[in-house]
Amino acid sequence: MKKVKDCCYKVVKKTNGSVSCLNILGSEQMEKVKDWNYKVVEKIGQGVFGEVYKCLNLETGKKVAIKMINIQNEPEGVPSYLIAGVSLLKELEHDNIVRLLDVLTSGRYVYLVFEYLDLDLGSFIRKHTATSIRPHIKTILSQILVGLAYYHSHNILHGDLQPSNVLIDLKSKKVKLADFGLTTSFGVPHIEYSYNEVGSPYKAPESRIRSSVYSTPHDVWAVGCIFAEMVSGNPLFPCGKKDHLSLIVRYLEDMINNLFICYWQDLAEQLLGLGLEPPGVELLSQMLYLDPDLRVTANGALLHRYLRHAEDIRIAETVPLKLPSSNKPSFSQKVSEGRF
C-alpha cells in the first residue's frame, strides 16, 4: 500500500488542455480496497475523473466515500496536477467541507477516501416540496457560503458546485461542500486551466465566451443557481447540455441588448410568488449578475440582510469584500472587445 506524496503546488494548470487521460473505471478494480479493510457497499457517483463508491471501514465501522481514478495512460505515474489537487484537498479542514481522510495507490490506480454523509442536496430537493424546504433555505445557503468563503480565503476554487456536491449530515444538521473532482488554486484574480463541464446548468455564462478562465465569481454564480433551485424545486436552467448552452447564449444576448431586466423581473415575480422574501430576491440578483466583476463575493453574500438571522454564519475575515468600481467597463463592452 502506498500513499500519494504531499506536494507544495499551489497552482493546478494542465498543459494538454484535457483530462481524458483519467479513464472511467470498472467496479472490479474496487476489489483492491479489501486489502485496506474497506468493504464496497454501492456505487454512488461517476464523473470525468472517475467513480465514487460508498464503502465501509471494517476497522472503525464508519462509512466512507472512495473515489477511484485510473492513471494508466499517464507515462510518468501519478500526474503532477493530480498530486497538486490532492495536496489542496488535504489542506481543507472546515466544518462545512467534506474531509479527505486518506489517499492510497495500487498499481495504476489512485483511491481518494472521503468522509461520507447521508444525503446530497439534490436528493433532498427532489424528496421534499418547495414549501417544506423553505424554512431550511437560509441555514443551508449560509453554510454553503461559509464553506465557499473558506475555499476562497485559501485561494482555492471549487469549480463544480451543484446540488449533488452539497452534502447534508442528517444527524448534525451540517451542510458540507464535497469536491470529488479536483480543486484548483489561484494566486491572481483569474487563472486559466482546463475545466470540462460544457453542459452544466450551474456553470457561469461568461465561461461560455472564454471557457478556459475560471475564477471565484463562477463559484458564486453556481451557488445562486442552487439558491434558486431550493426556492422553486427545479433547476434555474432546466435543460440538457445542448439546450442549456443555447439558453445561456440567449440569456447573454438579452443582457447585451438591455433586455435582461425584463427576464429578471419575470424571474423575481416567480420567486416572490413561491414565498422568497424581497431581500432574498435582491441577494439572488447580486449572485447572478452577468458581469462577474460586479457579482457579490461569498463573504459579501453572508453579510447581506437576507441572511442576517440565519444560523451558522461565520465570515472568513481573510477574504476582502469586493466592491464594484464605477469606472469598470460594462459587461457588453468586455464581450465586444473579446476580453472574456
Q: Which of 67-81, 107-121, 245-259 has the highest mean pLDDT?
A: 107-121
The answer on pLDDT for 115 being more than 70 is yes
pTM as predicted: 0.76
Residue 67 known to bind ligand: yes
List, as one string, the DSSP characters of 70-133: E-TT-TTSS-HHHHHHHHHHHH---TTB--EEEEEEETTEEEEEEE--SEEHHHHHHHS-HHHH
The answer on pLDDT for 135 being more than 70 is yes
How far is residue 178 CA from its own chain's centroid?
Answer: 8
The answer to whether 201 touches 236, Cβ cutoff 8 Å, is yes
Residue 233: CB partners within 8 Å, gap ≥ 6?
125, 129, 130, 133
How confident is the model at residue 39, as a pLDDT? Answer: 94
The answer on pLDDT for 322 being more than 50 is no
User: What is the tens place of the pLDDT at every residue in 67-105?
Assistant: 988 876 666 667 777 777 788 888 788 999 999 999 988
Instruction: Tell me: do 224 and 104 sit in the same domain.
Output: no
Catalytic (active-site) positions:
160
Residue among 177, 178, 200, 186 at smallest CA distance from 157: 186
Instruction: Tell me: do 155 and 84 sit in the same domain.
Output: no
Instruction: Tell me: do 214 and 181 sit in the same domain.
Output: yes
DSSP state of 16: S
Q: Which residue has the higher pLDDT, 152 or 74?
A: 152
Does the residue 20 lie in any domain? no
Instruction: Tell me: do 142 and 180 sit in the same domain.
Output: yes
Does the residue 186 lie in any domain? yes
Q: Which residue has the higher pLDDT, 74 or 187?
A: 74
**CATH number for the domain harbouring residue 79:** 3.30.200.20
**Pairing mode, strands 38-47 and 50-57:** antiparallel
Instruction: Tell me: do 109 and 162 sit in the same domain.
Output: no
Instruction: Tell me: do 211 and 65 sit in the same domain.
Output: no
Does the residue 5 lie in any domain? no
How confident is the model at residue 181, as a pLDDT? Answer: 58
The answer on pLDDT for 142 being more than 90 is yes
Instruction: Tell me: do 244 and 200 sit in the same domain.
Output: yes
How confident is the model at residue 208, as a pLDDT? Answer: 64
Q: Give how many domains the chain has, as a whole number.
A: 2
Does the residue 278 lie in any domain? yes
Label residue 5 exposed, middle or buried (CB < 10 Å: 0-12, 13-18, 19+).
Answer: exposed
Final residue belonging to a domain, choices 115, 131, 165: 115
Instruction: Tell me: do 237 and 100 sit in the same domain.
Output: no
Does the residue 9 lie in any domain? no
The answer on pLDDT for 199 being more than 60 is no
Final residue belonging to a domain, choices 87, 115, 143: 115
**CATH number for the domain harbouring residue 290:** 1.10.510.10
Final residue belonging to a domain, choices 98, 115, 132: 115
Mean pLDDT, the chain, rounded, equals 74
The answer on pLDDT for 238 being more than 50 is yes
Instruction: Tell me: do 166 and 303 sit in the same domain.
Output: yes
Does the residue 254 lie in any domain? yes
Instruction: Tell me: do 31 and 127 sit in the same domain.
Output: no
The answer on pLDDT for 306 being more than 60 is yes
Whole-Å CA distances, 188 to 155, 185, 216, 254: 9, 9, 11, 31
Does the residue 198 lie in any domain? yes
How confident is the model at residue 207, as a pLDDT? Answer: 74
Instruction: Tell me: do 234 and 270 sit in the same domain.
Output: yes
Residue 186 in grid coordinates = 489561484
How far is residue 179 CA from its own chain's centroid?
Answer: 7
Instruction: Tell me: do 173 and 305 sit in the same domain.
Output: yes
List, as one string, the DSSP characters of 175-216: EEE---S--EE-SSS-EE-----TT-TTS-THHHH-TTEE-H
Does the residue 4 lie in any domain? no
Range of the domain at 59: 27-115
